[in-house]
Structure 1
Amino acid sequence: MRILTLITLFIVCNTSLRAARISGKITDENGQVLVYASILVKGTTQGTTANKEGDYFLHLQPGTYTLVAQYVGYNRQEKTITVTTDNITLDFQLSLHQLNLKEVIVRPGAEDPAYEIIRNAIKKRPYYLNQLNNFQCEVYIKGQLQLRAYPKKFLGEKVDFEDGDTSQRKMLFLSETIARYSVEKPRRNKIEVLSTKVSGKSDEFGLSTPQIISFYENNIQVGRNLNPRGFISPIASGALYYYRYQYEGSFTEDGREISRIRVIPKRRYEPLFSGYINITEGDWRIHSLQLRLTKASQMELIDSLNIEQLYVPYNNDVWVIKTQVLYPAVKVLGFDAFGSFVNVYSQFNIEPSFTPKFFNNTYLKIYEGSNKKPADFWDSIRPVPLQAEEIADYHRKDSLEKAHKDPHYLDSIDRRRNQPHLFAVLATGQNFYREKKREIYTINPLLQTVAYNTVEGWLVSFGGRYLKRLDTIPASRRAISIEPAVRYGFSNHHLNAAGTFTYRHGRKYFSSISISGGKWVYQVNNANPISQFSNTIRSWLFERNYAKFYEAWYARFHFSKDVGNGISLFGGLKYEDRIPLENTTTYSLGDRKSIEFTPNYPIEIMSENFKRHQAFIGNFGVSWLPGTKYIEYPERIMNIGSKYPTFTLSFTQGVHNLLGSDVDYAKWRFDVSESLNLKLGGNFRYNMSIGGFLRRDSVAVIDYTHFNGNQILASVEYLHGFQLLPYYKYSNKNRLYAEGHFEHHFNGLLTNKIPLFRNINWYLVMGANAIYADSDKEYVEVFAGFENLLKIARVDLVWGFDKGRVSTFGVRLGIRGFGKL
């Protein structure tokens, strides 16, 4: 590896010695810099791109060349130079396009000439979309995000970037990447990261995905999460329904006439672009474009996004993209940020020869040492010169990174981080760091520490976690964690204690094992359908003790392991000595005489509590996600999902007589789940299950098939539970049952036609949940509601049908990120 690196550096340095450096500045006629203008060697796709200050450079071997400077909306300029071994300074000054207007006979109601041009472009769209079935190119990616302003405090905490700089304007993120991008249509592509760097983070890998936003697609996905429905191209098959067009005139390049068309959305609050697109006359291809997305385009997360693209001829018939620049801007919660993300494409090969196994399930491969290249390597290879502020940011943050590794600095950071914060102490848990030893201590929040139920009365449950990373590499998976907990009930005077040890590892695929044991209190449905906090509120204030508890001495072993190709294995063993519990208090703040607490067992399926018994249980399962794609880092592989459903099969065995076990049963479960992106149609999600008992000689109520019900205002997990179902009403030990959860997220479809909802950006959501266990256990609920309330909330109206008849109605509220409330 060292020899190969030395040879590579020798070739680069030797080539640089013989080549001359051509550099200069690109401006308009008024001396204003043209940001990210392109410089091409005429007749080739070789070239470079200017930076945000208009400066460019490239290296050329001795010879005569014609350099072409281009910028969208400006006339290009050509200059011929003879290159020797001396450096050359060559500036360009571009003028705005002087557009020539076609002669148009003006009649009342006459159609703008732009429409005929767009119709022709729409007809040619499928041809250009599929023209390059295979290609390979090299991409330079530079991304930066800067702050213009930010608040002094956020959520009551001081905003500190730990860089010693208190100025409002600062560089938040700066990254560069050189990658090889390979495509074999219709579905196969691969990215290989050859070199990458992140300012101030020498162990990270930066932006490594060179997305080509193809406006030849009908529906365009720009990044992730900007709009789940995607955006409609100005030359999509149905674009004339969504856009108006204006012919602005034409200009000529290399004998080609190019028409400039203004793109105007017909309606606000549709996923549409506005701006300009330039179309070549006769062959009707995209020459360049300047398009914009705003909040009126139903864009999430950011306020605006400008997109610029420039295409250049590869040969007489094929054009390829040369540059693509995205300019995002966002203002949120007092933070005002803007940025630029430039992709420069070069070294195209439109007839590559791929080896049979070149395309596999690795979508993105980052090579060993790609983030360890020295500064002189980057100076010799980057096509876009760094700006002065970028050079300063690299120097400052690289120095800060070294300083941040100093033991005294780590101690000072620990002291600052480890100061208690009220919100963390109450709601999220307080962390205490020891960076030198790569350790984190976490204490559970008060909302998990103090609780109330009718079995234990008021209780305290002290717990936390100790986590230690075993490697110095921050992204390494190897870590251990220890989670001790102690619980005491003031009414039944029971003291319980337990602990869990977990080891995470896997240089390639993720694996984990955990061992736990002790004595603890559990819900009869071990999935915990009602949270401890919710049960406290319902019991203490409203005298509704929905949660049913038992106590157990236990020991458990659990493992999970990814084995590749989308396959994961999981399983474990557990032993429980299960002890029934009874109510020991009837205290409540409400003290309603008309309401009585129910016994501490599921009265829907039991007439008395279970008897103490022992259970030894083993389980094993396999999950498969076909077509899984991976990101392959030097030290690990990360699953990034697939467009196919996930299939999960599990088997559970209650082993009779082993260690005195009283249970004797066997049950299975098969799940299928998927999220379907219907683009403009929204997103459809489902989770379907089928299963049952193969044997049921001795089944304790704890081991029944339970469904996650809900009888409180806060919603349960939407694809894993029922919003109105009583918690244990349909629990069973049947030989066969089926369960299904379905929901469709319209993501702005329909509501964007209603002024009130489109202004506040609420999205319609509809769906249904169903159970079938036998003719006496049939339940369906349907719901409709709105999501994206204040960006985090969702409210649903739910109707429940028991055996085909409406049995109940309710309202449910969900808060993103809070799980079960």
Structure 2
Amino acid sequence: MLENNCMKHLSLKLVGVACLLLVQIPLLAQGIRGTVRNSKGEALPFASIYITDLNNGASTNANGQFEIKLPPGPHKVVVQYIGYKAQEKQVDIKNGWLDQQYTLTEQGYALKEVQVRGKGEDPAYTIMRKAIAKRKYHLLQYDSYQMRVYIKGTGELTDAPFFLKNKLKEEGVKLNEAYTKESVSIIKFTQPNKVEEKVVSIRTTGDDKGSPSPSGFIHQSFYNDQIVEAVSPLSRAAFAYYKFQYEGSFREGAAEVNKIKVTPRSRGDNVFDGYIYIIEHEWAIHSLDLKVHLMGFPITVKQNFAEVAPSVWMPVTHRYKFSGKIMGFGGQFNFLASCSDYKVVLNKDLLTTPEIIDEKVEDVPKAVAATKPSEADKVIEQLATQDKVTRKQFRQMMVQYEKEALKEQAEPKVARERNFTIDSLATRRDSTYWAAIRPVPLTPKEVSGYQRDDSLAQVHAARLTGKDSTHVIRKGKFKPSHLLLGGGYNLSPRTRLQLAPTLAQAYYNTVEGVNVNLSAKLKHQYDSLRRSFEVRPTLRYGFASEDFYAKARVAHKVKSGENSRELFLEGGNFVAQFNEEDPIHPHINTLSTVLFRRNYMKLYEKKYAKAGFAYKPNPFLELSGSLEWARRSQVYNHIDYSLFYSDEREFSPSLPDNFELDDTGFPRHEALMLQVNLSYRPGASYSVYNGTKTPLLDRSPELLLQYRKGIAKVAGSDVDFDQVEAGVNHAFSFGARGRLEFELRGGTFLNSNSLYFMDYEHFDGNRTILSSLKPAGSFRLLDYYQYSSNSSYFSGHTHYKFRKFLLTQIPEVRFAGLKENIFFNYLKTSKSPHYYELGYALDNVFRFLRLEAAASFKDHQFQELGFRIGVATIFQLNTP
């Protein structure tokens, strides 16, 4: 017992000593701190500070202040600020902090003598041609690298709609106050495109999912053709998008650096404007100071590079500034990233490279001109032995080398791979930890923001998680208001009941008058996300027709890796549109009926039972099918009310008009229908995130095949027909934001011995002011049912998004984020005239709208001009 007590006291003492030492660690820290200013005494915000012997990058804050922890001993410090002469200083760190004040002078530039040929081409073009020729080399000159990245993002809400300002205050969100997020990650890149990121620590409050992020810039390289959908100045197509101007050079250590002005040939979204600095002979990026507009929002990008390994220049500091205004909300976000602790594994095949000759303006020795790129297995030897090569020769060598390297890839179908993990202690670091690890001091405004957020953190977290003080998920209690507004209930940890809001399911049509729908979803998950059981009942009552309807769907889903399976049963007595794709939404029909006295929705009654399946062995192949028995009956109008046009227009019966069928009415009958669908995308490729593969569906076309059969004389069925259809969907991107999307469908009825109008092939028409949610796949002015057919048919849709076209030739229009699109739609059946539409759209109006004008023609005869309003295409889920 005595021994145990002694051991207990000793343990407590050791714990106490350890805690005391941990508290003292920040107090014993040493390094350099101070301010970076210009010759006028003005602070230089976000200046780059690089410790060359440690491969550590850091930065000043918005007030030009810095504080960098360093181990004892001598260190070489390089201070850089774009446009200023870099300053290099040796410091000797002992115990405590060493105050350092740096004053940078403006960079002077020397204009080197150049030989001018032809029409006096600017020497910037030779520099950029060589840099572009060598861009792939800079992407391949290492097998892997690892770095530590500190990111600090500070955002401010500068404006908000007046009617929401009080609500924002209640939520703890104030205008012109700093909201800061910090994180430290270890990032490792491995060729050809594998990124592993582990978040060591993170500090934030609130929900920042809606804020912009700089990750797209940090994880991508300006040596690529595009960076965050903007054309890089080092892209293969750079000369089609940019003009370059040589503004001089300067020496920094042993490197000679060229300053190149980058000017878009056509200003607007997705092109950069500013300066890029290229190292002579290396033809690598030294730094860059660029601006770009994405979706009309301006973004400033600044990067400083350092030689982190022999002849390997990589970014050590990043600065990004996002700003803009949308729907009355205005804000700005500043992001700062410091990269340190670089560990680079060089590609031994590319340790040396030949001198590059620009054959457009420089003399090419005959021996060099006669050189031809070797076969893939000899390229390495050729790169090591050639003293000089032309741009074109070097570029071909690198392409050949990359192809050979990709052949050795273990997973050729994996286009990119990313693994992201968060340390279990990442969110538990306290302010003491951050004070010790943070390479950039907080500004007083950021400190104030953290103090505010810390006081609200517990309340905010409870609001987000929905958990009470005992960390138990609340089940939720039923309230009568939930029938009107909707509500959710956790019946068990794996079972949830969700009531849909009845107010949102109240409609009006001429058959039922006001009709109200009550629906719910009960979902039980057997084992996380792999197996689930779902029930969806729906009740409906029409007040004018006094008809009560009910239906339900029961589904069982199983997911195992990429493989997924679903079985479902569905049935009941309900109303249905003649086109089972439901071309007109009940809310839209309600408005057109009540306001314009146009009852476009055509209904019939269906008592049915349906069974079906869907099988996806992988994301690129899907087989589905269903068997349905239905008793179908005609319905009639029961109400004749509208707010306007009562004396001018008559409501039409609940029967469509059609070219092929004079009377679409039908007697009550039974139908047994079989349908099978096949979807396939060739050329499978994936991105991998944390071991989970995500299919890159936009890289290959979608091929479609469908078969429908009306089965006669079984279960009283009165239908007898066979129909086949084939189709293809795809999209192509061109340059900066140009994109062509198309959808083609064609089919025929092998026989049509007996069928009714709802069995015809119907097309996605539209007669309302609102445009479809599927711009590349729908008609704008076509009647819903006039062209419906039981014969052969073909439909085609094309939709092209321009970067600049008519109005967008004006830079101010492009800077506002507006886009212009054109579309062409075509339809022909064997019994109808040719129908086609030509249209123009002004896209991204007020950041979320699309305004369209379309003209329709029948057999070359103009029919009508119509205007449509839709949601901007950036929010669409088009079939790529």
How high is the TM-score relative to the length of structure 2?
0.74
Match of residue 787, structure 2, among 730, 733, 736: 730
Query: How far apart are residue 522 of structure 1 and its match?
Result: 0.6
Label 1:220 to 1:210 Cα distance change in 2 as closer, same or farther (>3 A).
closer
Partner of 1:291 in structure 2?
A: 290
Partner of 2:362 in structure 1?
A: none
Partner of 2:546 in structure 1?
A: 493
Equivalent position amino acid for 2:575 in 1: V
Match of residue 333, structure 2, among 331, 338, 341: 338
Partner of 1:120 in structure 2?
A: 127
Q: Is the 8 A contact 2:36 2:60 kept in 1?
A: no
| Aligned mates of 1:253, 1:261 — CA distance in 2 | 16
Query: How far apart are residue 463 of structure 1 and its match?
Result: 2.4
| Aligned mates of 1:435, 1:642 — CA distance in 2 | 37
- Indicate the SS of the match to 2:589: helix
Q: Is the 8 A contact 1:748 1:761 kept in 2?
A: no
Label 1:724 to 1:399 Cα distance change in 2 as closer, same or farther (>3 A).
closer
Query: How far apart are residue 746 of structure 1 and its match?
Result: 1.3
| Aligned mates of 1:396, 1:556 — CA distance in 2 | 56
Match of residue 546, structure 1, among 584, 600, 609: 600
Partner of 2:33 in structure 1?
A: 25
1:407 aligns with 2:468: yes
Q: Is the 8 A contact 2:266 2:811 kept in 1?
A: no
Query: How far apart are residue 513 of structure 1 and its match?
Result: 5.3
Label 1:811 to 1:234 Cα distance change in 2 as closer, same or farther (>3 A).
same
1:465 aligns with 2:460: no
| Aligned mates of 2:60, 2:478 — CA distance in 1 | 38
Query: How far apart are residue 695 of structure 1 and its match?
Result: 4.8
| Aligned mates of 2:721, 2:629 — CA distance in 1 | 15
Label 1:23 to 1:571 Cα distance change in 2 as closer, same or farther (>3 A).
farther
Query: How far apart are residue 209 of structure 1 and its match?
Result: 5.7
Label 1:709 to 1:495 Cα distance change in 2 as closer, same or farther (>3 A).
same
Q: Is the 8 A contact 1:747 1:764 kept in 2?
A: yes
| Aligned mates of 1:98, 1:114 — CA distance in 2 | 28
| Aligned mates of 1:508, 1:153 — CA distance in 2 | 49
Q: Is the 8 A contact 2:828 2:834 kept in 1?
A: yes
The number of equivalent residue pairs is 767
> Which stretch has the larger CA shift, 272-281 or 375-384?
375-384
Label 1:709 to 1:34 Cα distance change in 2 as closer, same or farther (>3 A).
closer
1:159 aligns with 2:159: no
Partner of 2:738 in structure 1?
A: 682
Rg larger in structure = 2
| Aligned mates of 2:854, 2:664 — CA distance in 1 | 32
Label 1:36 to 1:120 Cα distance change in 2 as closer, same or farther (>3 A).
closer
Q: Is the 8 A contact 2:679 2:703 kept in 1?
A: yes
Query: How far apart are residue 338 of structure 1 and its match?
Result: 1.6
| Aligned mates of 2:731, 2:438 — CA distance in 1 | 40
Residue by residue over 1:654-689, the C-alpha shift from the partner in whole angstroms, topping out at 9 and shown as x without a partner, is 444454433344433333212322123722111112
1:49 aligns with 2:58: yes
Partner of 1:784 in structure 2?
A: 840
Query: How far apart are residue 231 of structure 1 and its match?
Result: 4.2
1:193 aligns with 2:249: no
Residue by residue over 1:581-632, the C-alpha shift from the partner in whole angstroms, topping out at 9 and shown as x without a partner, is 2334444444656644433323312425122222333433343344443453
| Aligned mates of 1:35, 1:131 — CA distance in 2 | 26
Match of residue 326, structure 1, among 320, 327, 330: 320
Partner of 2:82 in structure 1?
A: 72
Partner of 2:187 in structure 1?
A: 179
Partner of 1:9 in structure 2?
A: none
Q: Is the 8 A contact 1:600 1:609 kept in 2?
A: no
Query: How far apart are residue 769 of structure 1 and its match?
Result: 0.7
Q: For 1:190-229, what aligned pairs fall within 5 Å after superposition?
A: 190-195=194-199, 199=203, 211-216=218-223, 220-222=226-228
Q: Is the 8 A contact 1:681 1:749 kept in 2?
A: no
1:484 aligns with 2:537: yes
Percent identical residues: 21
Equivalent position amino acid for 1:126 in 2: A
1:348 aligns with 2:327: no
| Aligned mates of 2:813, 2:208 — CA distance in 1 | 41
Label 1:729 to 1:548 Cα distance change in 2 as closer, same or farther (>3 A).
same
| Aligned mates of 2:635, 2:164 — CA distance in 1 | 42
1:276 aligns with 2:275: yes
- RMSD value over aligned CA atoms? 4.8
- Indicate the SS of the match to 1:407: coil
Q: Is the 8 A contact 1:520 1:551 kept in 2?
A: yes
Residue by residue over 1:677-731, the C-alpha shift from the partner in whole angstroms, topping out at 9 and shown as x without a partner, is 2123722111112233345443332222111122232223322322222221221
Partner of 1:254 in structure 2?
A: 253
Query: How far apart are residue 556 of structure 1 and its match?
Result: 3.3
Q: Is the 8 A contact 1:171 1:393 kept in 2?
A: no
Q: For 1:620-631, what aligned pairs fall within 5 Å after superposition?
A: 620-625=676-681, 626-631=683-688
| Aligned mates of 1:362, 1:393 — CA distance in 2 | 44
| Aligned mates of 2:828, 2:701 — CA distance in 1 | 22
Q: For 1:11-22, what aligned pairs fall within 5 Å after superposition?
A: none
| Aligned mates of 1:418, 1:141 — CA distance in 2 | 48
Partner of 2:487 in structure 1?
A: 432
Residue by residue over 1:127-159, the C-alpha shift from the partner in whole angstroms, topping out at 9 and shown as x without a partner, is 234443364223536252422445486669923
Equivalent position amino acid for 1:72 in 2: I
Q: Is the 8 A contact 2:827 2:834 kept in 1?
A: yes
| Aligned mates of 2:674, 2:867 — CA distance in 1 | 39
Q: For 1:600-615, what aligned pairs fall within 5 Å after superposition?
A: 600-604=654-658, 605-615=661-671
Partner of 1:7 in structure 2?
A: none
> Which stretch has the larger CA shift, 377-386 or 113-122?
377-386
1:95 aligns with 2:103: yes
| Aligned mates of 2:657, 2:241 — CA distance in 1 | 59
| Aligned mates of 1:201, 1:575 — CA distance in 2 | 55
Label 1:575 to 1:133 Cα distance change in 2 as closer, same or farther (>3 A).
farther
Q: Is the 8 A contact 1:548 1:600 kept in 2?
A: yes
Query: How far apart are residue 194 of structure 1 and its match?
Result: 3.2
- Indicate the SS of the match to 1:673: strand
Partner of 2:46 in structure 1?
A: 35
1:705 aligns with 2:785: no
Partner of 2:708 in structure 1?
A: 652
- Indicate the SS of the match to 2:518: strand
Equivalent position amino acid for 2:783 in 1: P
Match of residue 599, structure 1, among 646, 653, 656: 653
| Aligned mates of 2:166, 2:761 — CA distance in 1 | 46
Label 1:523 to 1:262 Cα distance change in 2 as closer, same or farther (>3 A).
same
Query: How far apart are residue 645 of structure 1 and its match?
Result: 2.1
Q: Is the 8 A contact 2:718 2:754 kept in 1?
A: yes
Structure with greater helix percent: 2
Query: How far apart are residue 744 of structure 1 and its match?
Result: 1.0
Q: For 1:565-580, what aligned pairs fall within 5 Å after superposition?
A: 566-580=620-634
- Indicate the SS of the match to 2:652: coil
Partner of 2:509 in structure 1?
A: 452
1:363 aligns with 2:416: yes
Match of residue 518, structure 1, among 555, 572, 575: 572
Return 5+ residue gaps in structure 1 as ranges. 1-12, 225-229
Equivalent position amino acid for 1:122 in 2: R
| Aligned mates of 2:590, 2:705 — CA distance in 1 | 35
| Aligned mates of 1:143, 1:622 — CA distance in 2 | 48
Q: Is the 8 A contact 1:542 1:590 kept in 2?
A: yes
| Aligned mates of 2:786, 2:504 — CA distance in 1 | 29
Query: How far apart are residue 481 of structure 1 and its match?
Result: 5.5
Q: Is the 8 A contact 1:48 1:57 kept in 2?
A: no
Query: How far apart are residue 524 of structure 1 and its match?
Result: 0.6
Query: How far apart are residue 77 of structure 1 and its match?
Result: 4.1
Match of residue 812, structure 1, among 834, 858, 868: 868
Residue by residue over 1:267-300, the C-alpha shift from the partner in whole angstroms, topping out at 9 and shown as x without a partner, is 654654333332334554421111223xxx5x32
- Indicate the SS of the match to 2:736: helix
Label 1:398 to 1:790 Cα distance change in 2 as closer, same or farther (>3 A).
closer
| Aligned mates of 2:720, 2:690 — CA distance in 1 | 46
